[in-house]
């Protein structure tokens, strides 16, 4: 391997947190997971009242989009920290705590720039991200396959259900669980792509 390609590879691995932040932001908008989740919920449950006021509906989508970004970031950071779940050649090792903290710092910095957040908004996002991680750690690694009629034990599900339709919590939790499944699948896809330059 010549010097130029070694330098390029080093540059690529340094940019991985920024690349991942960019991919997550773009994919969340492109895949329209949140608008599809809300629209299907409205149709399935006859809750058209949620879409009557355009300004309130936009605010609802913005709040849920932010929750989706947190859930996606938590899962992507977790996958990156623990190593690839894909069948690449050679098994990636889990990151050390120091590496994981550095990756997270760069990732959040890049995400803040991409989203155009103020310092206060960035801190709020980081606090919520940490809250998600703590709640998930407390729930333990007992992540099992859910039945279709079963809501996930996840902060995204509870927070989204409350914001979406607090008077129909159980139905809203089931719909949010389906959206969470899509988000977690997206995180696996995006981190697999982001890691391909690291795997030899």
Burial call 106-129: b when 16+ CB within 10 Å, e when fewer: bbbebbbeeeeeeeeebeebbebb
Q: Which of 139, 166, 167, 141 is nearest to 153 (CA)?
A: 139
Determine contact, residues 129/74, Cβ cutoff 8 Å. yes
CA distances to 41, 47, 54, 127 from 134, rounded to whole Å, are: 28, 33, 35, 11
- pLDDT at residue number 94: 84
- pLDDT at residue number 6: 44
- pLDDT at residue number 131: 95
Residues whose CB falls within 8 Å of the CB of residue 180, separated by 6 or more in sequence, listed in order: 71, 152, 154, 156, 157
- pLDDT at residue number 67: 96
Across the chain, which has 200 residues, the per-10-residue mean pLDDT values are 47 76 94 95 93 93 96 94 58 82 95 95 96 87 52 88 93 94 93 50
- pLDDT at residue number 153: 85
- pLDDT at residue number 152: 74
- pLDDT at residue number 5: 47
Burial call 11-43: b when 16+ CB within 10 Å, e when fewer: eeeeebbbbbbbbbbebbeebebbeebbeebbe
Parse the chain into domains and list their residue ranges. Answer: 11-195
């Amino acid at each position: 391997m010549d010097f130029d390609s070694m330098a390029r590879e080093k540059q690529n691995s340094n940019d991985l947190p920024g690349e991942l932040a960019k991919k997550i932001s773009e994919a969340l908008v492109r895949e329209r997971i949140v608008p599809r989740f809300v629209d299907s919920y409205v149709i399935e449950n006859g809750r058209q009242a949620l879409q009557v006021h355009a300004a309130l509906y936009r605010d609802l989508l913005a709040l849920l989009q932010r929750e989706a970004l947190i859930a996606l970031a938590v899962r992507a950071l977790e996958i990156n920290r623990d190593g690839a779940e894909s069948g690449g050649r050679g098994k990636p090792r889990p990151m050390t705590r120091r590496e994981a903290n550095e990756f997270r710092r760069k990732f959040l910095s890049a995400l803040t720039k991409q989203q155009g957040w103020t310092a206060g908004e960035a801190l709020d996002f980081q606090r919520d991200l940490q809250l998600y991680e703590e709640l998930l750690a407390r729930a333990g690694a007992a992540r099992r396959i859910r039945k279709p009629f079963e809501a996930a034990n996840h902060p995204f599900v509870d927070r989204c259900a409350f914001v979406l339709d607090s008077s129909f919590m159980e139905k809203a939790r089931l719909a949010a669980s389906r959206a969470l499944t899509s988000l977690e699948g997206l995180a696996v896809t995006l981190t697999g792509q982001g890691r391909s330059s690291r795997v030899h």
